[in-house]
Structure formats: C-alpha cells, structure tokens
Amino acid sequence: MRMSKLFFQTLREAPADADVLSHQLMLRAGLVRQVGAGIFEYLPLGLRVKKKIEQIMREEMDAIDGQEIVMPVVQPASLWKRTGRWYEIGDDLARLTDRAGRELVLAMTHEEVITELAGGVINSYRQLPVMLYQIQTKFRDEPRPRGGLIRVREFTMKDGYSFHPDIASLDEYYPLVYQAYFNIFGRAGLDVIAVESDTGMMGGTMAHEFMALTDVGEDTLLLCDECGYRANRQVATFVKQTEKDQKKEAPLPLEEAATPNVDTIAALAGFLDIPESRTAKALFLVATVEEDGDEKEQFVFVVVRGDMELNETKLTNALKARQLRPAQTEEIRAVGAEPGYGSPVGISRDDVILVVDDLIPDSPNLVAGANRDGWHLRNVNCGRDYEPDLTLDVVAAAGGHPCPICQAPLRAVRGVEVGNIFKLGTKYSQAMDASFLDEDGGSAPMVMGCYGIGSGRLIASAIETNSDENGIIWPITIAPHHLYLVSLATRRTPEVTEAADRVYNQLQEAGVEVLYDDRDERAGVKFNDADLLGIPIRLTLGARGVKSGIAELKLRSGDEVLELPLDDIAIQIQSVVEAETAAVLAKVITEPLR
C-alpha cells in the first residue's frame, strides 16, 4: 500500500479524553476513530490488525475441531426469557421493539441462540462432542465506557460453544481450549496468565480468565510466586489469621465508649489506639432476590473485620442475588442502625439478613458501633451479643495475605481480561430443552462449554504492553504491515523514487507486506510516523544509499541501523520477516490447566 493513497491521518497529540496509552496511540496512529461513547470504527490499518488477530483465532479453533458459523446480533426476547436472563440482566442488555411490537435484544452474548440451534440439529450422542464458534459483533450498554477498546459498548468477539454427552467429555475438551487460548495470545505477541474467575451471569461450574498484566487493567489479580496460585480478586481466597492468642480471649462485658465525630474505621482505630483488626465494620446493602418467581428487595447487614474489605461478588453469589446496591440512610435507620456507628447489636431483625464473615466468630471483643451517633461498643462478640443468619467468607483477598495453598504472601497485580472460558454444564440446555438420545436410548441434556475472546481488547492490550514514548511496537504477526518503506526522494533525486518503486514491487512479489511512504513529506515526518505506526521493519532509501547500492534497515524494537545491498533485497527482507516471526512464535507457552 502506498501511503499517498492510504486513508488515514496521524495526530501529533491525542484527544484530551483518551485516558489510557493504547487509546491515545490508536487514535494518533489513525487505526480507529471514535463515533460515540464506547463505539469505534476501524480504519484500514486498524482493520488489518483486527483481521490478522481473528485469523489466528480461526486457525487455533479449527485446530481443535471448531466449526465456524455466524449467528444474528438481533435476537428474539423469547429466547432470553426461556433461560431467565431477560429478567436477570439489568440495563446492560439492550432491549428494543420492532414495528410489530415484538420484543428483541441486541446480543451481548449468544448462549440462547446457539443452544436452540444445537437442540434443533443434534439428536444423537453420535453427533457429540461438537464445537461451534463465530467472530461476531456484540453490544453491551456499558454505563461507563473507558480505556478506548478496553471497555466499549459495541465490540467484536470470538465466541465458541462446545456440546458434549456428559461432564467427562467436557472435562476432556476444556484443557484443549485452555491451551488453544495460550497459542492465540502467544502468536499475537501477548503475554497472558490464566486465573480462576467467577462464573458471573454465564453460570456454570468452572471458569478461567486470561489476563494481560498492565496497570490500566480493571481487574485485581492475586498471585502466589511460590506455588503458582492465581485467582481474580472476585473469587480469591486466603488463609485468615487472628492476632496472637486472640482466639483464647474470654468474652468481656460490653462497654460504651464515647467517640464523637469518629465515623470511619481508620478514625476509630486512631481514636482508641487499637489496630483496625480489633474493630468490626458494618456494611448496609439491599439485595434484589427472587422469591416465589417474583423479585423483591432484601436488606442485608454485613459484618467484616475492620481491616478487611467486602467482596461483593462473594456476597452476591452467596445470596443468589441478581444485584446489590448500597442502602439509603433512611433504610439503615429503619432497622435500628446508624450510618457510621452501626453494629448488629440490638437492631431489628425483621426482614433483615445478617451476614458475618467467617473470621468474625474467631475475633472476640471487637469494637463495633453502638447504633448511636458518637458512640461505639467495646467487647462485642458474635454469638453472645448477636446471632448471624449466615457465616461465610465474604471478604476480598489483598496483596500480602497468606496464600490459601502454601501461605506465602500473595502479590496483587492489575490485569485486562482478554479472554475467558467456562464450563456451563446443563444450565442452558435444560432451559432450552436441548437434549439428545444417549447410548441407552434415553433423553439427556447436552453438557456445554463456552469460550470467548474480544478482538478489540486484545489489540488494546497488545499496544499497552508493546509500545514506547515514540509509538506502537507491533509484534510482526499482527502488525498491519511487515515493513515500512521510506523513500527520501526529492525533485532532484528521481533515481531514489525509481529505486524505491523497484524495491516496493520486488517485496510485494516476494509476499512481504509493505507500507510504502511515498508522500512528499520531510524525512522527519516520515520517520516519526514510522515509529508511531509501529511497523516492525523500516527500510530507508536515500540518494547516497541508492548511489552506493544500499538501503538502511532498522527494526522498530531496536536502535541498530544496518546497511543492506539492494541486490537480492527481497530475499534478505524475507529472512528478516521469518526471523521476527519465529521470535514471536518461540514465546508461545504450553500451560497445564490449573
């Protein structure tokens, strides 16, 4: 492609609302343009990257017997009602009505449609297992799009769905997808780790997320460098510890303590000169739960130790709640509690679920609120002063907490989720009546797996981890072009143009993907754009070099400049492309399922 004909525009400065590096560089390099909040259009160079990534996905899915299909983005609401997700998912699901009054959705995922498809085609165990996948547009009405392509509303996803006769078959197939994902990310030049994750709205019995480690990530991951434990903070556990001999303390009598204007745990610990671990933190939430087929709101009073943070995912799962929201001040006072000074001692238990973290019963004589403004209680003891409805793990793991496997300190890092895989089981096949005849002639629901990768997120994550102060540094396997050909011709040096044209044609004939900068621009502009666009190989032809029969080669990832003879230049560049490709592929890892 000649840049004089390329539809693109580079920017010297990124727009002020581009909040992360990948967003800034994609806009500056002319890869994408923003149409609206969380909605982007891909320009020619950006689309080339996207297509290369998607081709890698296809090859790896085909290698594990995946078969590509395409399903509709617009789907009948009736399908989503059959699984219950029409009611379970909130405003993230875009709902609409056609001219005939039929309810529709813009698909954020395709479990309902694929399950109905499989149920209509698969009749016998002899047709199983089978894996179908697509690379398709999806829409999620994300309330807070951010990070360019990291969190958007409209996005492209490779989503695959496998169907099996039993759990054993799914268990056998799941590791194949797990490794295929490492192959995809590795071939795209992206280092990832796999962590245990929450099944979320997808449901199922097991899930893994593939995370690119970067500070712009929205997820917190807990890693153990000793034993290899890895989990998303949503599901991470740790060994809970009390202070030395704390468990042996006998319960002491309740005492009131005046604590004027002390309405936070940090202020309380400082005022009374005690560690935060000797306090009880009260949290007030309202859960939306299902009761007899109807939704209702339930006040939830949660108690965790003062040095811990609530993990809302764990609590949501424990309550089987559709969502949680903070309780309003009037709702808190209606149960007899006081914001900033709350405790479960003496509250009304009517229509209240009292949940305590399982560390609370092993932590005697805590300081908790007195449910009066400006007062706390010393020596509050779970089991004596109040009885919980539920006692379970509802706190979040953090860096420094002991690993649940080996008790070494956990390390907290940030990551961007670029892919996920789920063991769905029979959640959708039972709801959609997707059954088959087994070997004994009986009817059984198909067992399902689900596997997704977001194209845009992968692109953004690749840039976040492959860039410098000058621009992008593409891995050659997903770069828009292999080589950036720079002509430094002027009106007085037509021989340079002639030589550059010849090299351009030779490289194209040799199968090298070339972006030919034939624009009438200064050398500095061309070199700056070359660095910004991040094409892996730069080949420069100038008057002095052409006269001497040489071109200058520089890799985007390094500083060394080499002189190559123009004779047989295509063969030499082919070797460089092969070497750069081999370097990327050499980093593809084999990872056992954790």
Burial of 101 per CB tally in 10 Å (0-12, 13-18, 19+): exposed
User: pLDDT per residue over 198-211, tens digit each?
Assistant: 766 555 678 899 99
- Assess whether pLDDT exceeds 70 at residue 472: yes
pLDDT of residue 202: 55
C-alpha to C-alpha distance for 56 and 478, rounded to whole angstroms: 9
- Range with the lowest mean pLDDT among 204-218, 249-263, 266-280? 204-218
Residue 474 pLDDT greater than 60, yes or no? yes
- Where do we find the tokens 């199922």? 204
For the cut 60, the answer to whether the pLDDT of residue 273 exceeds it is yes
For residue 204, the model assigns a pLDDT of 65
pLDDT of residue 196: 85
pLDDT digits (tens, 9 = 90+) for 105-152: 999 999 999 999 999 999 999 999 999 999 999 999 999 898 999 999
- Tell the burial category of 494 from Cβ atoms under 10 Å away from its Cβ (0-12, 13-18, 19+): exposed
Q: Write the CATH number of the domain with boundaries 21-69+107-235+412-464.
A: 3.30.930.10
Residue 186 has pLDDT above 90, yes or no: yes
The CATH architecture annotation of domain 247-392 reads: Alpha-Beta Complex (3.90)
Query: Model confidence at 361, in pLDDT bands (50, 70, 90)?
Result: very high
For residue 165, is pLDDT > 90? yes
For residue 86, pLDDT over 70 is answered with yes
Q: Which of 8-22, 91-105, 376-390 has the weakest average pLDDT?
A: 8-22
How sure is the predictor about 242, in pLDDT bands with cuts at 50, 70 and 90? confident
Over residues 363-372, mean pLDDT: 96
pLDDT for the residue numbered 205: 72
Burial status of residue 533 (CB atoms within 10 A of its CB: 0-12, 13-18, 19 or more): buried
**203 or 559: which leads in pLDDT:** 559
Name the average pLDDT for the chain: 94
The model carries a pTM of: 0.89
Q: Kindly give, in sequence order, each residue whose CB lies less than 8 Å from that of residue 403, ignoring residues fewer than 6 positions away.
A: 224, 226, 227, 229, 238, 239, 409, 410
Please report the pLDDT score of residue 334 as a whole number.
95
Q: Which residue has the tokens 């997820």?
A: 219
Give the C-alpha separation, 14 to 189, whole Å: 25
Residue 255 burial (10 A CB sphere; 0-12, 13-18, 19+): exposed
For residue range 519-545, list pLDDT tens digits in order.
999 999 999 999 999 999 999 999 999
Q: What is the pLDDT of residue 198?
A: 77
What's the angle, vertex CA 586, arms to CA 584 and CA 587, rounded to 5? Answer: 75
Cα-Cα-Cα-Cα dihedral sign, residues 42, 46, 48, 54: negative
Residue-level pLDDT at 528: 96
Confidence tier at 323 by pLDDT (50, 70, 90) = confident
Q: What is the pLDDT of residue 201?
A: 54
Which pLDDT score is estimated for 203?
Answer: 57
CATH topology for the 472-585 domain: Rossmann fold (3.40.50)
| pLDDT tens-digit series, residues 373-391 | 999 999 999 999 999 999 9
User: Residue 290 has what pLDDT?
Assistant: 81
Number of alpha carbons in the 13 Å side-chain half-sphere of residue 259: 29
Residue 229 has pLDDT above 90, yes or no: yes
- For the segment 259-280, the average pLDDT, to the nearest whole number, is 95
Distance CA 299, CA 239 (A): 29
At 469 the pLDDT is: 94
Q: Where are the domains of the chain?
A: 21-69+107-235+412-464, 247-392, 472-585
DSSP 578: H
Question: Has residue 588 got a pLDDT over 60?
Answer: yes
Classify 448 as helix, strand or coil: strand
- Quote the CA–CA distance of 40 and 46 in Å, as a whole number: 11
Ramachandran assignment for 472, one of left (phi > 0), alpha (psi -120 to 50 degrees), beta (any other): beta
pLDDT of residue 14: 86
Q: What is the mean pLDDT of residues 426-433?
A: 95
